[in-house]
Structure 1
């Protein structure tokens, strides 16, 4: 699932969400606005870059680890809508 697709699913809860691809330099600058250590900022930027080159492929890790099959993003959002909508969505 792409970032744009995830934003679409979250938007279905009633609050428009869009993904903005900052690119590594702008993402790093954005992260520096927060009190994060440099090592963590560099780690987050690296993870984002790796995700672009090596996207995750479906596997059985969730099932093997938890004993339960993974949920779809739609099921997760339905089950946790309150955490995303909050007071505004009531």
Structure 2
């Protein structure tokens, strides 16, 4: 039997995407314990993110620095198990945070 480079390439590609996957849940229930309900400021931050505001615009709205906004977003991604901002929005929605 001859080795198929295409097959092994596809397997490697699948494995790469599998590592970045976000767990799905049935009926919109959270897949894990994301901790306590978010604060009003966290909900506002998520709302601004979902509205497409830049970090600078969010910082001005919240009265904090852009660095603080970036740190808060990173922390939220860690809490909700999201690797990207898009995944953060999906996970926040699934948990009923926005």
Q: TM-score, normalised by structure 1?
A: 0.28
* TM-score under structure 2 length normalisation: 0.27
Larger radius of gyration: 2
